């Protein structure tokens, strides 16, 4: 995970950061979907679940002054999620996304290491205003819960995951407040 500045980061470093994020998040989503969508469509069923970011929920998370490339790539991924859902629902393929907030991952740990801060709920609260820190297993549980849904559940939604409880709630099916 990296940050960049339009003012102080060199042109070359900013471009490298931008393409790394776009290749990983946007292009990665595009290529995976392009490979599996025809197979799923011919079968008449399947599920695609994209892992986007809580940054998509602007009502709670305003833009950052340093995560330009990351956010641009995640907005592209988010747009792909919506257009994939629109096209593929007619073929019986379900497309949704999860938007996890702070999750203890090597990427987030690296970001806090760069800041010289410990990764815990207290420092998250200081940095972001939210003291939620999920574990990878929590997000995995949310993904499994959504992938276990039947055809009565909606498609094209992006679910904000702030806490372990949010992840578990998806076991019962659609949670409208998490999709707002």
Active-site amino acid positions: 70
- Report yes or no: 104 and 136 within 8 Å, Cβ to Cβ: yes
3-state secondary structure of 50: strand
Count Cβ neighbours within 10 Å for each residue of 33-54 and write b for 16 or more, e otherwise: beeebeebbeeeebbbbbbbbb
Residue positions counted in the chain: 180
- Return d(Cα 4, Cα 160) in angstroms, integer: 25
The encoded tokens of residue 173 equal 């099916």
β-partners of residue 46 are 93
């Amino acid at each position: 995970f990296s940050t960049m500045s339009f003012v102080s980061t060199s042109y070359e470093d900013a471009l490298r950061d931008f393409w790394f994020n776009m290749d990983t998040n946007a292009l990665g989503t595009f290529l995976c979907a392009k490979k599996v969508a025809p197979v799923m469509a011919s079968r008449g069923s399947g599920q695609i679940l994209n892992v986007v970011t809580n940054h998509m929920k602007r009502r709670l998370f305003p833009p950052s002054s340093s995560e330009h490339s990351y956010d641009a790539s995640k907005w592209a991924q988010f747009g792909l999620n919506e257009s994939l859902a629109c096209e593929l629902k007619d073929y019986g393929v379900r497309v949704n996304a999860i938007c996890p907030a702070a999750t203890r991952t090597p990427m987030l740990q690296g970001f806090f290491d760069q800041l010289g801060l410990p990764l815990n709920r207290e420092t998250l609260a200081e940095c972001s205003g939210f003291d939620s820190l999920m574990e990878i297993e929590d997000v995995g549980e949310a993904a499994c819960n959504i992938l276990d849904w039947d055809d009565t559940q909606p498609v094209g939604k992006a679910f904000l995951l702030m806490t372990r409880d949010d992840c578990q709630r998806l076991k019962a099916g659609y949670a409208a407040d998490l999709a707002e």
